[in-house]
Amino acid sequence: MISQGVRASATCGACGGALALDLGQTLLGTRVEWGTEACCRTCGEAWAECGRGAHSTPEDIRQALLSEHGPTRLRLAAPAPVNRTAVLRALRQAYSRTLTETRALADALAGTGMTGTLVEMERTAAFLRHGGVAVTLTQVRTEALDR
């Protein structure tokens, strides 16, 4: 199981106090689960929201993860020769896009790489590895997070 989370804060809708948020994504097999847990330190108001689906994570959770941890870059493991058919098949399974869009993803993967959250890229990597395609994942740290 691979997961990534981030703590954030917001304003409590009930009392205006400080709301502590726990946001995250988890990979279970090839399934992505996302969730938000909120708890107010002042009035005790608490709520949680979660869901699952490969590409259904709310954008605010994705952006919070990306800005806290930096994006993860997925690339083909060079210099092994690559079976493009296998790459296209794996990406098609992972993204359910049209062939044209899938080709664009394959081109990106073969070039500078695809980026996304750790959980999203680990999921795509799992499809590619299952199809016999060697890939590498690297964490891209933003300058501000280097130290």
21-29, 36-44, 102-110, 130-138 -> range binding Zn ion (CB under 5 A) = 36-44
Q: Residue written as tokens 């005790």?
A: 44
Is residue 38 at the binding interface for Zn ion, with CB under 5 A as the rule? no
User: In this complex, which beta carbon is closest to Zn ion, that of residue 12 or of residue 125?
Assistant: 12
Say which amino acid occupies 127: F
Is residue 21 at the binding interface for Zn ion, with CB under 5 A as the rule? no
Residue 40 Cβ vs Zn ion, minimum distance, rounded to whole Å = 3
Quote the tokens at residue 60: 């605010």
DSSP 80: S
Q: Residue written as tokens 């359910």?
A: 96
Is residue 43 at the binding interface for Zn ion, with CB under 5 A as the rule? yes
Is residue 42 at the binding interface for Zn ion, with CB under 5 A as the rule? yes
Is residue 14 at the binding interface for Zn ion, with CB under 5 A as the rule? yes
* SS3 state at 79: coil
Q: Are strands 46-52 and 31-40 parallel, antiparallel or unpaired?
A: antiparallel
Is residue 15 at the binding interface for Zn ion, with CB under 5 A as the rule? yes
Residue 102 Cβ vs Zn ion, minimum distance, rounded to whole Å = 46
Q: State which of residues 23, 40, 109, 118 lies at the interface with Zn ion (CB under 5 A).
A: 40
Whole-angstrom Cα distance, residue 62 to residue 64?
5
Q: State which of residues 4, 12, 61, 71 lies at the interface with Zn ion (CB under 5 A).
A: 12
3-class secondary structure for 84-143? HHHHHHHHHHHHCCCHHHHHHHHHHHHCCCEEECHHHHHHHHHHHHHCCCCEEEEECCCH
Residue 9 Cβ vs Zn ion, minimum distance, rounded to whole Å = 12
Question: Which residues of this chain interact with Zn ion, rule CB under 5 A?
Answer: 12, 14-15, 17, 40, 42-43, 45
